Structure 1
Amino acid sequence: MYSLGMRREFSARHYLIGGDWGAENREHAHHYRMELVLEALNLDRHGYLVDIVEVEQHLEAVVADFAGHTLNDLAAFAELNPSIERLTTILHTAFRTRLAHLRLEALTVTLWEDDIAWTSYRAPL
């Protein structure tokens, strides 16, 4: 199985809902570090897993949908707690949709909200 990973960083704001999490219930910012990993059994006829330039364009578009925004205000988080786990799943869905035309076996999104806390979501395609 081949894997190809790419990273991006972006900042966004959020506040947690549905529980008493102290300061986390007040709007605050995170500088997120995201890693996208694509997996496939075979390379294309040029010896590539994917066209990196194309994947970079999708990365930029997805990040633009979240960067600089308050996550709670986005339709994807309507009535949902914007936890790092939920954000990772929503990012995964966005990439899954955008990259559906590629012959991938799996896609993983890993997201750090600081230097010690991260989450990851991997699913076969």
Structure 2
Amino acid sequence: MYSVSVRRNFIAQHYLIGGDWGPENELHSHHYVVEVLLEGKNLDPHGYLIDIDDVSSHLDSLVAYFKDKTLNKLPEFETANPSLEHLARIFCKTLIQRLNAQNLSAVSVKIWENEMVWAGYQEAF
């Protein structure tokens, strides 16, 4: 199985709802790190799993959308808590829709909110 990974970082704000999580219930910022892992069994005729520039471009666009925003105010979180888990799912599903990669068998996204805490989401085809 071949793997390709691309990382980016961005700062965004949020507050958690629906529970008593102390300071997490108040508006605060995170320096997020997002890592996309793409996997597949076969390479294209040029020896690539996927065009890394294409992945980077789509990831940059997605990061730009969330960068410096309050996640709670975005349509993606109208009915969902802006948790790491939901954010990872949104990144993953959006990238799958945007990428044209017949060679992929799985896409996963991990998002760190600090050096020790991350959540992820994966889809296999």
Range class of TM-score, shorter chain: over 0.9
Name the counterpart of 2:101.
102
Q: Distance in 1 between matches of 2:94 and 2:33?
A: 17
Is 2:97 the counterpart of 1:93?
Answer: no
Letter of the structure 1 residue corresponding to residue 64 of structure 2 = A
Structure 1 vs Structure 2 CA RMSD = 0.8
Letter of the structure 2 residue corresponding to residue 14 of structure 1 = H
Is 2:59 the counterpart of 1:62?
Answer: no
Deviates further, 89-98 or 26-35: 89-98
Moved over 3 A (4+): none
Name the counterpart of 1:37.
37
Extract unaligned runs of 5+ from structure 2. Answer: none
Q: Percent identity?
A: 48
Shift of 1:107: 0.0
Q: Distance in 1 between matches of 2:98 and 2:49?
A: 16
Q: Distance in 2 between matches of 1:118 and 1:40?
A: 24
Name the counterpart of 2:9.
9
Is 2:121 the counterpart of 1:124?
Answer: no
Q: Distance in 1 between matches of 2:94 and 2:12?
A: 17
